[in-house]
Amino acid sequence: MRHLEYDKKLARTIKVLRELKRIKQFVISNALDMTQATYCKIEKGEIAITPGQLKIISEELGTSNFQILAIVEADNIINIKHTTLSEILLKFVQMVEGVNENSKLTSEELEFLIQKIRHRHQKLTS
């Protein structure tokens, strides 16, 4: 995968995680000691994320930089009609919590999530 494409997937993953945790951009921009406008460009993939910035962002999100990178890699593998796993999960959470009235899963996306949950459940119970 091209470097720029990877940076954009990393940025999108960070944005999805931040939104899932309902953390405002200004919280992370303050931790990074930058303006919210600059941080917004990071989330849009217009500015590449440095390893040091990724470490700070992951701490603010309550996760590790390795987990964020693992999600990016999983998104490279799991792709339903050009929709990444993180995007499907965001839609699911928004739908369940009533955050976004317009957020709906397609039958294919819902079946995909059910299969993933069943697979994980089988691993945990066997």
Evaluate if residue 113 carries a pLDDT over 60: yes
CA gap 94, 101 in Å, rounded: 8
Provide the whole-model pTM: 0.61
CA gap 56, 87 in Å, rounded: 23
Q: Maximum CA pair distance of the chain?
A: 49
Contact 29, 36 (CB under 8 A): yes
CATH for 1-77, among 1.10.540.10, 1.10.10.10, 1.10.260.40, 3.30.9.10? 1.10.260.40
CA gap 78, 45 in Å, rounded: 21
Evaluate if residue 126 carries a pLDDT over 60: yes
- Least confident residue range of 3-7, 70-74, 82-86, 96-100: 82-86
**Beta-strand pair 79-80/83-84:** antiparallel
CA gap 112, 85 in Å, rounded: 9
Q: What percent of the chain has pLDDT over 70?
A: 86
Length of the chain: 126
CA gap 83, 76 in Å, rounded: 10
With H, G, I as helix, E, B as strand and everything else as coil, classify residue 84.
strand
The predicted pLDDT at position 1 comes to 41
Extents of the domains making up the chain: 1-77, 79-126
The predicted pLDDT at position 98 comes to 74
